[in-house]
Amino acid sequence: MRSILLSITLFIISVNFTNAQKDNFHISINIKNIAQENEVHSVGYYNSVKNKWDRLSVKGENFIFSKYVEEPEVIKFFFENNDVKKNIESGYIPCLSSNLYFIAVPNTKVKAEGEATDCVEVNISGEYENNILNKYINTIRGFSNEIGNLSVKLSDKGISDSMKQSLQDKREVLKVKESNIKVEFLNKYASSVTGLWLLDDLILRRQIDIPTVKKYFKKIDEKYNNVRYYKNLKSRIDSYYNVKIGTEILLVNNDKQYGEIFDLKKYRGNYVIIDFWGTWCRSCIAGFPNLNEFSEKHDITVVAINCGDTKERWEKSKYLEKYCNFVHIRSDKKDFDLVSKFNIQGYPTKLLIGPNGKLLYRCLGEKEDLYTEIESFID
């Protein structure tokens, strides 16, 4: 009998723990005019658990989003609402003002209230880190929205050259102001989840250099040391100062992903090209035939590191079979983040490793003289 009671008790504890794992963050969202009453509509966001962009099906202007998080995570919601979305003939203009941003902090509940005009005008309340994010979004939203509106007008092929120049000039002035706002914000709030997230984003967009990031980094409170944005930044800073031309490149993946366990040392004595790519990157895919031809001509090992794809999408990709002579591995944001480790800021990025395992050359993009330059190192 005691055994049965103990089993039931353990089961109940297990169920409660599992439920707690599922929803330790909640946000109540109320955005007027984002949808019609009782209308079922789609909300897009990046699902960090599945490591891919995902969609929620919600109803009306009021809904609740719940999520389990182990650490603070900035989440962006984008809406299929033509009033806030900056639509153009070829798609739409990505714009901060078209989205809802909030920070999922473990064991908290927050509120998002506002309305949809020609942008998403929302205030977040109920938690310290979200209050800081709210200050940033509210300060920059108007500039972001106007830049988006001007970009939509500039997409009109029928505007005159004089009008086009006028719109471009206005947009550039706003971009400078927007950039100044980011600097002013970081001067005050670098030591926050929003500050770390913004620095990480600016690096990816190549709008800030590593030495400047390092200056801000000195202001970061140690309580943020385990936040993913802090870890990304630290990895990039370390890479900037440690992964330079002439340094030894060490790369080991202990988890078998595709083929054998990978260790770069295995290829000592040979030249190696490390290629950072993604199935979503057109220039990456377009560059594969030339990379393949060059590697076969010079008997060079190509290590193709996939970035930004889910494991499922990567494994099903036709390029793994088409270029089976490449060594294929995958960068993972959680457990094997090679993007931050090597401070990758664009795609494709190629690294040439010499027979002694040291970095000889680094290049971003598929420029015309890429392989002529690489050839100068191996001849």
Residues 29 and 130 in one domain: yes
Domain boundary residue among 137, 156, 189?
A: 189
172 and 296 in a common domain: no
Shared domain check, 256 and 144? no
pLDDT score at 50 = 66
Judgement on whether residues 28 and 129 belong to the same structural domain of the protein: yes
Residue type, 283: S
Q: How large is the average pLDDT for residues 162-178?
A: 96
pTM attached to this predicted model? 0.78
| Residue 268 included in any domain | yes
Neighbours of 246 (CB within 10 A): 8
Percent of the chain whose pLDDT exceeds 90: 64
Please state the length of the chain.
379
Residues near 156 by beta carbon (within 8 Å), at least 6 away in sequence: none
Question: Which of 189, 218, 240 corresponds to the end of one domain?
Answer: 189
Radius of gyration of the chain (CA): 24
In a domain, residue 276? The reply is yes
Closest among 146, 76, 83, 86 to 112, alpha carbons compared: 76
SS3 assignment for the chain: CHHHHHHHHHHHHHHHHHHHHHCCEEEEEEEECCCCCCCEEEEEEEECCCCEEEEEEEECCEEEEEECCCCCEEEEEEECCCCCCEEECCEEECCHHHEEEEEECCCEEEEEEEEECCCEEEEEECCHHHHHHHHHHHHHHHHHHHHHHHHHHHCCCCCCHHHHHHHHHHHHHHHHHHHHHHHHHHHHHCCCHHHHHHHHHHHHCCCCCHHHHHHHHCCCCHHHCCCHHHHHHHHHHHHHHHCCCCCECCCEECCCCCCCCEEHHHHCCCCEEEEEECCCCHHHHHHHHHHHHHHHHHCCEEEEEECCCCHHHHHHCHHHHHCCCCEEEECECCCECHHHHCCCCCCCEEEEECCCCEEEEEEECCCCCHHHHHHHHHC
Q: Tell me if 204 is assigned to some domain.
A: no
- Same domain as 280, residue 154: no
Asked whether residue 309 carries a pLDDT value surpassing 50, the answer given is: yes
- 65 φ, ψ (degrees, to nearest 5): -115, 130
Residue 133 reports pLDDT greater than 90: yes
Number of structural domains (the chain) is 2
How far is the C-alpha of 105 from the C-alpha of 98, rounded, in Å? Answer: 23
Cis status of the peptide bond prior to 355, with omega within 30 of 0:
no
Cα–Cα distances in angstroms (integers) from residue 131 to residues 63, 111, 126, 144, 199, in the given order: 21, 11, 8, 20, 18
In a domain, 366, yes or no: yes
Tally Cβ neighbours within 10 Å of residue 261.
12
Q: At what angle do helices 193-204 and 210-217 cross, to 10 degrees?
A: 170
Query: Is residue 89 situated within a structural domain?
Result: yes
pLDDT band at 51 (very low <50, low <70, confident <90, very high): low
Decide if 1 is inside a domain: no
- For residue 168, the one-letter residue type is Q
- Mean pLDDT in residue range 248-255: 78
**Does residue 55 sit in the same domain as residue 157?**
yes
Identify the domain containing residue 353 by its residue range: 252-378
pLDDT at 75: 95
Does the residue 225 lie in any domain? no
Report yes or no on 281 lying in a domain. Answer: yes
Domain boundary at 166, 189, 212, which?
189
Q: d(Cα 347, Cα 282) in Å, to the nearest integer?
A: 9
Q: Per-residue pLDDT for 253 more than 80?
A: no
At a CB cut-off of 8 Å and minimum separation 6, what does 340 contact?
A: 231, 232, 235, 236, 239
> Would you say 305 and 275 are in contact if contact means Cβ atoms under 8 Å apart?
yes
295: domain CATH number?
Answer: 3.40.30.10
Say whether both 280 and 181 belong to one domain: no
Residues 94-131 have pLDDT tens digits of 999 999 999 999 999 999 999 999 999 999 999 999 99
- Give the pLDDT band (50/70/90) at residue 49: low
Residues 156 and 275 in one domain: no
Q: What is the pLDDT of residue 10?
A: 36
Is the predicted pLDDT of residue 246 greater than 60, yes or no?
yes
Q: Are both 179 and 257 inside the same structural domain?
A: no
Please indicate, yes or no, whether residues 176 and 271 belong to a single structural domain of this protein: no
